[in-house]
Amino acid sequence: MFAPRDPALEDVRPDEALMRAVQGGDSRAFEGIYDRYHRPLFSFFVRLTGDRPGSEDLVQDVFVRVLRYRASYDPGRPFKAWIYQLARNAASDRRQSRAAHHGADALPDDVRDPGPTPLARVVGDERRALVERGLGALPDEAREAIVLSRVEGLSHREVGRILGCTEAAARVRVFRAVQQLRSAVERLQRPRG
């Protein structure tokens, strides 16, 4: 059903039109959606979990869900918010599953505090590594707000749609998440005594 990708045939239709075509059984349209969203979703999951292999599984999970729940998508609503909601659900299910099987405290340390990435170590960017560790130490909701707004570059209106709140509430969440990040980084900077 799926032919090799031909960049020359890249679909220029809006996301919502592509998804409408997917609802009609158009596998090409599905490939178009994959091409647009797999990298942002992968980046979202990596920033959220600090786990690259796990993030690939989560991306796959999201696209399976896109097909599984394609009938429930309303083309009158923004597709981006819908697919990120699926992504949040996938991440949340994985967290719950891990907690159910290993206990909440059994989340691997590298997920809670990923530590400096190899790239950061190589270039000696201690500040960036520190911020990454601070981000990893935040509660999930705060990390999500920062990743969606800052890293994924979504508007607060879009963030609100994804988080299920108003644009104004999304701004407040981002503000408070950045406050938490700042505190986390300051804690990490303090010498251990």
Between CA 162 and CA 156 the distance in angstroms is 10
For residue 63, how many C-alpha atoms fall within 13 Å in the half-sphere facing its CB? Answer: 20
Contact between 97 and other proteins per CB under 8 A:
yes
Between CA 58 and CA 50 the distance in angstroms is 12
Of 10, 13, 27, 124, which one interacts with other proteins (CB under 8 A)?
27
Q: Do residues 23 and 70 lie in contact, with contact meaning Cβ atoms separated by under 8 Å?
A: yes
Start-to-end CA distance of the chain, whole Å, equals 61
Of 89, 111, 115, 188, which one interacts with other proteins (CB under 8 A)?
89
In the complex, the smallest distance separating the C-beta of residue 113 from other proteins, rounded to whole angstroms, is 16
Q: What is the DSSP code string of 70-99? A: GGG--TTS-HHHHHHHHHHHHHHHHHHHHH
Contact between 176 and other proteins per CB under 8 A:
yes
x/- mask, other proteins, residues 50-79, rule CB under 8 A, reads --xx-xxx-xxx-xxx-xxx--x-------
Between CA 162 and CA 40 the distance in angstroms is 14
Residues that bind other proteins in the complex, under the rule CB under 8 A: 1-2, 5, 25, 27, 30-31, 34, 38-39, 42-43, 46-47, 52-53, 55-57, 59-61, 63-65, 67-69, 72, 89, 93-94, 96-102, 119, 127-128, 131-132, 135, 146, 149-151, 155-156, 168, 171-172, 174-176, 178-179, 181-182, 185
